[in-house]
Structure 1
Amino acid sequence: MMIKGLYEAHLPVSDMERWIHFYQKLGLQTAYVSEKVSFIWIEKGKSWLGLWETEHVHLPYHPSLRHIAFHVEAEEITAAKNWLKERGISVREAFGFPPERQPLVLPNHPQAHACLYFQDPDGNSLEFIAPLRLDVEEDFEMMTLEEWYGREE
């Protein structure tokens, strides 16, 4: 397959320096920095995030324009909530599930992904996503990761 993963995504930001600091708190490194556009490595040489400073960061939200999902391993998704908290970043409500009931398992039939949702300082939607199973045979409702593991026992 030609596509190996997300190489580039872009977000509008209100303050370049503040944003670079935010993404450094997530453990990401800068690739290029200027006054109006900067790039942050997600995985050096494989994927990066373009940040564009603008006064218009609060235009109407649509997830296709202002959402990024970072791949994490399934074994790390539960610990990710505390990892974010240690960095002063809060998990947000998603799909009617409050932060304390996350991570969630999304029924992207025939796949199941564990997800955890948070925002950057300008309200862009960010997500940690971990593939759980790529071959789920039955349909299921969205649930917590705890419920997902409980149903397999």
Structure 2
Amino acid sequence: MIKGIYEARLPVSNLQQSIEFYEKLGLKLAWSDEATAFFWIEDGKSWLGLWAGSEYETKYHPSLRHIAFRVSYEDLKESLHWLHSLQIKAVPFGSNESIEPFVRPHQGNASVYFIDPDGNSLELICHIVVPNALKHINDKLSFKDWETLLADTFE
């Protein structure tokens, strides 16, 4: 029945500024009018809708105003350089002080976070295969620490 997520929406204050930001990320503008814009994330499969209005002032909470974009592991390793080349700053997540991408072995994923011009939380995320011996790790690990653990596990 359910095959995936087709649409997600975010509030924005300045639609034109947001259109430029999301185009800079490589999303393709599908259509827009005076108050909304839709971007293909995966052409014909999933898109992101932006709505201009005061809702962008809603205080951030992890359950609101957040989108995670799927990327490859290799792309995530290069994400800070890519974001920097677009003049976008990565931001720490939760209690982390570092902006570096990190691995969550217990969830089987890795992420880096940044924000759009209205403070909406954006994430680049990839799935990782976690050996059974490492699935108990609840800490957030740097890529360097994760790859060292993997190498040690398979020695």
TM-score, reference length from structure 2: 0.89
Residue-by-residue CA offset, 1:8-49 (whole Å, 9 max, x unaligned): 100000001000000000011101101111101111100000
Q: 1:136 to 1:117 in 2, by over 3 A?
A: farther
Is residue 112–residue 136 contact of structure 1 (8 Å, CA) maintained in 2?
no
Residues 11-30 of structure 1 mapped to structure 2, 5 A cutoff: 11-30=10-29
CA distance in 1 between partners of 2:6 and 2:62 (Å): 18
* 2:7 aligned residue: 8
- Asked whether 1:50 is paired with 2:46, we answer no
Residues 58-137 of structure 1 mapped to structure 2, 5 A cutoff: 58-95=57-94, 96-99=96-99, 102-107=100-105, 109=106, 111-133=107-129, 136-137=132-133
**2:108 maps to amino acid:** A
User: How large is the RMSD of aligned CA atoms in angstroms?
Assistant: 1.5
Please give the secondary structure, in 2, of the residue aligned with 1:61: coil
Please give the secondary structure, in 1, of the residue aligned with 2:108: strand
**1:121 maps to amino acid:** P
Residue-by-residue CA offset, 1:27-79 (whole Å, 9 max, x unaligned): 11101101111101111100000100002311121222210000001121111
Q: Which has the larger helix fraction?
A: 2
**1:118 maps to amino acid:** F
**Structure 1: gaps (5+ residues):** none
**2:116 maps to amino acid:** D
**2:148 maps to amino acid:** G
Please give the secondary structure, in 1, of the residue aligned with 2:54: coil
| Equivalences, count | 148
Query: Following superposition, which runs of at least 4 residues in structure 1 exceed 2 angstroms of deviation?
Result: 2-6, 134-138
Please give the secondary structure, in 2, of the residue aligned with 1:84: helix
* 1:152 aligned residue: 150
